[in-house]
Amino acid sequence: MTPAQELDWTSIKAVIFDVDGTLYAQSKLRRRMLFDLLSYYALRPWRLGEMLLLRRFRAEREKRPGHQGPDLENAQYAWCAEGSQFSVAQVRAVVGRWMFSHPNQYLGSCAYPGAGAFFDALRQRGIQVGIYSDYPAHDKLVALGLRADSVVSSTDPEIDQLKPNPKGLLHVAAALGRAPAECLFVGDRAELDGVCAERAGMPWLLVPPQPFDHFTFYHDLARSVAAAVPAALPYPV
């Protein structure tokens, strides 16, 4: 891992971000979601098993770091449905609602302070922005008000591999036209994001465990890149 204060911004041509826990505070979002889930299922106790299904879905994926195989998008639902009372279609519907749709309304208020300013600072200096997440990220970026030049998730058919397998990260770098050594990967989990970057031959940073109300990481990075690289460089197309 490259300490933030030691970054050589003149050699970095692209910054690639993880999303969950990296661009927004997961703990803050989970508190909001727990309230909504409890409010919803308190009125529907006969469907309480759906809440446990969400936990199982995450657990089944966590049990398979680096998994690679065909049709990961559908396989993840089959893992969760196996041995349960739920069909694959039911798992997909519950997960789609409570993990990939409903939470998006809260992402703006859970975005880490300074994330947007850092994206702007990069763009103003001709440094490309990429996204690599184990989960679908396009809708989350819209909710966060952020834009990237390449967005890839592990379940995309051209990837079909979970972190810390580096295929997705290398795919983003290639899509940006950059060598891995010219990119910086920003994540929140050393055992996934850090190992993924190391296997890709890419420098990386972890989001520090700063309290949300005192979170300065992205503002610090924005100031760092602004001090090192002149603004108004042509932005790559």
Mean pLDDT of the chain: 94
**Would the pLDDT of 93 be above 70?**
yes
163-188: pLDDT as tens digits: 999 999 999 999 999 999 999 999 99
Q: What is the pLDDT of residue 137?
A: 96
Place of tokens 């850090």: 194
Mean pLDDT (whole number) for 207-236: 86
**Would the pLDDT of 76 be above 80?**
yes
**Would the pLDDT of 46 be above 60?**
yes
Which pairs count as long-range contacts for 118-121, CB under 8 Å and 24+ apart, including other chains? 118/218, 118/219, 118/221, 118/222, 118/225, 119/146, 119/147, 120/222, 121/221, 121/222, 121/225, 121/226
Q: What is the pLDDT of residue 4?
A: 55
Fold of 4-26+111-228: Rossmann fold (3.40.50)
**Would the pLDDT of 233 be above 60?**
no
The domains of the chain are located at 4-26+111-228, 28-106
**CA-to-CA dists, residue 67 to 49, 55, 61, 134, 160, angstroms:** 27, 19, 9, 11, 8
